[in-house]
């Protein structure tokens, strides 16, 4: 067992975490500028973490507003170990029991946006760094807590970090689950484009709006119906929703009849764990006599994509023996006077060919008379479980938990570990506790975060002396 003396001050930890949580650090592209590439919220959260590190006497550095780091260890050491956390969060959509940007502690459980993804684990890693320093343990390598601010929207922060800073010897991201994730699926991010069309009809789909982030299952959706028979066809859609026992709200607005439904959010890597509100609404609208372009948009949602979380209808279903099934999440859905767009967040098993999948996807969409606009990919992560760094983390976890020969994990979620030459995801969500990132009333046990901090401090010391 490590010689690191863990003395995490629970009150200080909660105070610092509460201060960080109180910053609504959601990406705001409209307010992005030089020095604040993801808007004011992510920058403020990044600055706060660096301020805390500077307050406590660590070396800190801001990297053009994209990322920053807090560092401890021999300043002249050639190599460093990276611990990669992020302070940006997804929007706090849905109805929360408490203010999502105020930490609420109830029966030992913390509730707030970012408390498990990823401000809570990042703060746990920071307090581990403090414990490591206070222990006086000797290190060969520097330990660098790297803080990103765009993990939820494309990881431009880590791309910039890798442009500006040398690669670490090894690292881990405290942004997933214990015991350890050594393989993460690749990702395809695609936007399906539909043109707006003209034509007369008794009812028009003037607009459709659902979802806020590509990597979230949409928990809300609304459609605006116009035309001389809008009221009649809205009643038809409402009857379909009632038959499916889907709750809805109809509003008469100056623009037309607005029909809104609610779903259930979940992480985009596990779309079957949520209820996609766009699918519910589109299914209720699919029999309406829209003009062809409006109907094509609804058919895409109600027929091609509807609950097809494995990509069967798109022809991209895939499975391997390491990371399991391919998944598809339709996360951001829009239709209006400029046409329509639907985002697809596709998590691809590590043995899948991203090139072949993108070709098949493009072909399938084109056969529907639609097109693919913006498209990006992220290669899968795979680190040999026998890697010395992986073995260190595995052993640390087993010792702290009193376990032997734990089974290492694979994941559909992507973390900053994908931006390391050698790195994995390591906690902070404990086994047998639900991972609630991206969900309403996101929560984690306070004691679990404190235990994670102990594990991280031990891991930092051992990795800090990792043989090259």
Q: Rounded to two decimals, what is the model's pTM?
A: 0.86
**Local confidence band at 365 (pLDDT 50, 70, 90 cut-offs):** very high
For residues 238 and 249, give the distance between their C-alpha atoms in angstroms, rounded to a whole number: 9
Question: Residue 3: its pLDDT value, please?
Answer: 57
Average pLDDT over residues 102-113: 98
d(CA 62, CA 55) in angstroms, rounded, equals: 15
Active-site annotation holder among 151, 152, 177, 454: 151
Which domains are seen in the chain, by residue range? Answer: 10-185+381-463 (3.40.630.10), 187-378 (3.30.70.360)
Instruction: Say yes or no to pLDDT of 323 above 80.
Output: yes
State the pLDDT at residue 197.
81
Compute the average pLDDT of residues 117-144.
96
Over the stretch 53-76, which tens digit does the pLDDT of each residue have? 999 999 999 999 999 999 999 999
Strands 170-173 and 423-425: parallel
The pLDDT of residue 154 is 86
% of residues, the chain, pLDDT over 70: 99
Computed over every residue of the chain, the mean pLDDT equals 96
pLDDT at 7: 77
Kind of pairing, strands 142-148 and 80-86?
A: parallel
What's residue 296's pLDDT?
Answer: 96
Active-site pick, 47, 88, 150, 461? 88
Residue 88 a catalytic site member: yes
Torsion angle (degrees, nearest 10) of CA 310, 313, 319, 325: 0
Residues 405-411, mean pLDDT to the nearest whole number: 95
95 pLDDT tier (thresholds 50, 70, 90): very high
pLDDT band at 2 (very low <50, low <70, confident <90, very high): low
The fraction of the chain above a pLDDT of 90, given in percent, is 94
> Is 312 one of the catalytic residues?
no
pLDDT-based confidence at 4, cuts 50/70/90? low
- Is pLDDT above 90 for 311? yes
Res. 5: pLDDT tops 80 = no
Using one digit for the tens of pLDDT, what is the confidence trace for 14-52? 999 999 999 999 999 999 999 999 999 999 999 999 999
């Amino acid at each position: 067992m490590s010689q690191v003396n863990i003395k995490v001050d629970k009150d200080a930890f909660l105070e610092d975490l509460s201060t960080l949580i109180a910053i609504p650090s959601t990406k705001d592209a409209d307010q992005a500028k030089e020095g604040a590439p993801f808007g004011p919220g992510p920058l403020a959260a990044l600055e706060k973490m660096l301020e805390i590190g500077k307050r406590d006497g660590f070396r800190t550095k801001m990297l053009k507003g994209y990322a920053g780091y807090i560092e401890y260890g021999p300043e002249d050491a050639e190599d460093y170990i990276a611990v990669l956390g992020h302070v940006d969060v997804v929007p706090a959509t849905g109805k929360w029991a408490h203010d999502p940007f105020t930490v609420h502690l109830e029966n030992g459980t913390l509730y707030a946006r970012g408390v498990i993804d990823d401000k809570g684990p990042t703060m746990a890693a920071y307090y581990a760094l403090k414990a490591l320093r206070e222990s006086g343990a000797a290190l060969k390598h520097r330990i660098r807590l790297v803080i990103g601010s765009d993990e939820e929207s494309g990881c431009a922060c880590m791309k910039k970090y890798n442009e500006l800073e040398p690669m670490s010897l090894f690292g881990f991201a405290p942004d997933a689950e214990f015991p350890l994730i050594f393989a993460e699926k690749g990702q395809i991010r695609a936007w399906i484009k539909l043109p707006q069309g003209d034509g007369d009809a008794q009812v028009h789909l003037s607009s459709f709006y659902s979802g806020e982030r590509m990597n979230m299952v949409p928990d809300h959706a609304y459609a605006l119906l116009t035309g001389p028979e809008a009221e009649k066809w809205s009643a038809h859609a409402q009857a379909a929703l009632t038959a499916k026992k889907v709750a809805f709200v109809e509003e008469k607005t100056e623009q037309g009849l607005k029909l809104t439904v609610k779903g259930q959010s979940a992480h985009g890597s596990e779309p079957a764990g949520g209820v996609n509100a766009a699918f519910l609404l589109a299914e209720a609208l699919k029999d309406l006599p829209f003009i062809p372009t409006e109907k094509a948009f609804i058919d895409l949602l109600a027929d091609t994509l509807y609950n097809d979380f494995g990509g069967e209808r798109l022809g991209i279903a895939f499975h391997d023996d390491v990371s399991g099934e391919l998944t598809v999440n339709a996360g951001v859905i829009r239709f209006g006077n400029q046409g329509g767009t639907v985002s697809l967040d596709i998590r691809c098993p590590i043995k899948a060919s991203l090139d072949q999948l993108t070709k098949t996807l493009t072909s399938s969409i084109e056969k529907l008379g639609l097109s693919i606009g913006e498209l990006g990919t992220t290669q899968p992560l795979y680190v040999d479980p026998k890697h010395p760094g992986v073995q260190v983390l595995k052993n640390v976890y087993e010792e702290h938990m009193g376990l032997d020969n734990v089974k290492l994990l694979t994941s559909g979620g992507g973390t900053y570990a994908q931006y390391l030459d050698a790195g994995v995801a390591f906690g902070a969500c404990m086994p047998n506790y639900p991972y609630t990132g991206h969900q309403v009333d996101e929560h984690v046990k306070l004691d679990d975060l404190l235990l994670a901090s102990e594990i991280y401090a031990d891991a930092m010391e051992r990795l800090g002396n990792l043989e090259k």
